[in-house]
Amino acid sequence: MTLRLIATGGTFDKHYNELNGVLGFAESHLPEVIKRSRMTVPVALDVLPLLDSLDMQDADRQRVLASCQAASEKAIVIVHGTDTMRETAAVLGAAKLDQTIVLTGAMIPYSIANSDALFNLGFACGVAQTLPAGVYVAMNGQVFPWDNVTKNRSEGVFQQL
């Protein structure tokens, strides 16, 4: 089984610019993360335009959907910004694809100490290979159906609606 990873940006993929103190995008961290995680499952990586999820528009969500539709793999993990993860999951859920699609992200960028990125990605990769077809959000060691999840901004976690 090959696992498809789709990078869309979000906090997970942000880089810290020491010169101006701003978090922004350069290249995706996922090639490095895949090596560091020592995954033994074959991985196919799609890097879409990296965006903060607050900047995602309908056309960007359609690009994510098209990437999933074009994938031959049955297990897909999408690295996505946490603020609008549910909105993208809703587009994917409505498409009723015959794949297991798991969205995940991070509250702290991968490149910053104490990030949750590596854990969330590893967890999402594991559950994507075991869950039945459908769309899910996997964050902080929990899995939620796409239509029964919300981000609790005050606590910085995901939870059921």
The answer to whether 40 is a known catalytic residue is no
58 is in an annotated binding site: no
Give the angle subtended at the CA of 10 by the CAs of 110 and 109, to the nearest 5°: 20
Cβ contact 3:129 at 8 Å: yes
Residue labelled with tokens 């609606």: 161
Q: Among residues 2, 8, 11, 150, which one is catalytic? A: 11
37 is in an annotated binding site: no
Cβ contact 73:97 at 8 Å: no
For the chain, the straight-line distance linking the first and the last C-alpha, in angstroms and rounded, comes to 33
The answer to whether 82 is a known catalytic residue is yes
What is the secondary structure of 64-91 as a DSSP string? HHHHHHH---SEEEEE--STTHHHHHHH
53 is in an annotated binding site: yes
Q: Among residues 2, 8, 40, 82, which one is catalytic? A: 82
Q: Which segments are annotated as binding site for substrate?
A: 53, 82-83
Catalytic positions, written as ranges: 11, 82
